[in-house]
């Protein structure tokens, strides 16, 4: 396993050492964050420190951060806050948003436009619309509020909750090197929401349940490290490797296209389509060769369906079923990339020979 190369960072990022260290230390704190004694205050201090770290990464106030079990739970606020109003979900948004409301047209009485800032399958960045007096536009329709899924974008490209103008946003710790099973909902200061979970009233009444102190500690440490990497230009170096990957693949595979290549994209993501060569087949072949890649969002793996996002971007069924996603990270090396290129081109050549 030591020779394996991990190129599936959009599914989950490996746990950062800083996050692991923070989690181990938090596990030794016995108190409940809601208790007023010394042990409880110690646990509360860990949670609030992490809240500040996440807020710094996201460009918001600490009080606007609500800890959840992940971005999917945070997205459920759409149903909680707007149970009687139509929600327009942007066509290439993640299934976590589509699970609550399928695409609908916004009319005069509708409430929220929900969209992903960066697509997990292609890396394409969608520029949020500019708010007008009529609200947030989606085509000819307008909404009162904007919900942003920034799960893939935060920590990889500069983003601020405040300058985005969004009212709500969601993210997950494990995409930035934190632990799985913890995330956050960002709620604009002054906006009232229904509790995500009813109960003891934790998180200022917005999400009940005893806080996952260790997970939150890891989230905070990962957020701090992610901000440091972003400021240091680490992802610009990752983008250079992504470009080497694509140019090297393109030189040997003339029929392969790179989805969104001419659009603003995450610096680490490449979605390649070789028509007729199924993505799931490529994933298995690369896995046996020692490379972890994917054929789309990890949340959709194992489901027999044509990728909705790729269809929305104009690919036909044959092309959409042939997509392979390669996503790099800060510890990916040029040798990792070139080894993958060599292995992939070897199998691509075999595919073309069989198809001839």
Task: Catalogue the active-site residues.
Answer: 299
What tokens appear for 137 in the block? Answer: 């536009």
For residues 178 and 1, what is the distance between their CA atoms, to the nearest angstrom? Answer: 22
Q: How far apart are CA 198 and CA 173, in angstroms?
A: 23
Burial of 52 from C-beta contacts in 10 A (0-12 / 13-18 / 19+): middle
Quote the DSSP letter at residue 128: P
Residues 235, 328: Cα–Cα separation, whole Å: 10
DSSP 18-57: HHHHHHHHHHT--S-TT--SHHHHHHHHHHHHHHHHHHHH
- Positive or negative: CA dihedral 250, 266, 221, 169: negative
Residue 77: strand, helix, or coil: helix
- As given in the structure block, the two tokens for residue 83 are 């149970």
**Residues 227/159, Cβ–Cβ less than 8 Å:** no
Are the C-beta atoms of 304 and 210 separated by less than 8 Å?
no
Partnered with residue 185 across adjacent β-strands are 66, 170
* Dist CA 202 CA 215 (whole Å): 16
Give the number of residues written for the chain: 356
Cα Rg for the chain, rounded, in angstroms? 21
Nearest-angstrom CA–CA distance, 135 and 147: 13
- The rounded distance, in Å, linking the Cα atoms of 59 and 69 is 21
Quote the CA–CA distance of 251 and 258 in Å, as a whole number: 13
d(CA 198, CA 80): 11
């Amino acid at each position: 396993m030591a020779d394996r190369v991990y190129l599936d960072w959009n599914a989950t990022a490996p746990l950062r050492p800083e996050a692991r260290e923070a989690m181990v230390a938090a596990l030794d704190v016995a108190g409940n964050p809601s208790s007023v004694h010394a042990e409880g205050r110690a646990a509360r201090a860990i949670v609030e420190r992490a809240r500040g770290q996440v807020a710094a990464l996201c460009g918001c106030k600490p009080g606007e951060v609500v800890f959840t079990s992940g971005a999917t739970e945070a997205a459920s606020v759409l149903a909680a806050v707007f149970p009687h109003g139509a929600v327009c979900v942007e066509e290439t948004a993640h299934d976590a948003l589509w699970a609550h409301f399928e695409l609908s047209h916004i009319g005069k009485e509708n409430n929220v436009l929900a969209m992903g800032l960066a697509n997990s399958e292609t890396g394409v960045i969608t520029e949020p619309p500019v708010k007008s007096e009529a609200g947030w536009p989606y085509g000819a329709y307008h909404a009162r509020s904007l919900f942003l899924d920034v799960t893939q974008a935060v920590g990889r490209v500069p983003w601020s909750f405040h300058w985005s103008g969004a009212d709500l946003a969601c993210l997950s710790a494990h995409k930035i090197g934190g632990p799985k099973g913890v995330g956050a909902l960002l709620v604009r200061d002054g906006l009232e929401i229904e509790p995500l979970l009813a109960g003891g009233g934790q998180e200022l009444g917005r999400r009940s349940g005893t806080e996952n102190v260790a997970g939150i500690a890891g989230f905070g440490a990962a957020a701090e490290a992610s901000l440091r990497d972003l400021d240091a230009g680490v992802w610009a170096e990752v983008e250079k490797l992504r470009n080497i990957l694509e140019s090297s693949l393109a030189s040997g595979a003339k029929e392969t296209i790179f989805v969104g290549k001419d659009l603003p994209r995450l610096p680490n993501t490449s979605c390649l389509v070789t028509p007729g060569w199924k993505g799931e087949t490529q994933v298995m072949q690369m896995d046996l060769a020692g490379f972890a890649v994917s054929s789309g969002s990890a949340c959709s793996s194992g489901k027999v369906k044509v990728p909705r996002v790729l269809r929305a971007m104009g690919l036909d069924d044959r092309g959409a079923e042939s997509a392979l996603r390669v996503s790099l990270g800060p510890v990916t090396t040029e040798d990792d990339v070139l080894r993958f290129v060599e292995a992939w081109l070897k199998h691509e050549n075999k595919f073309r020979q069989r198809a001839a």
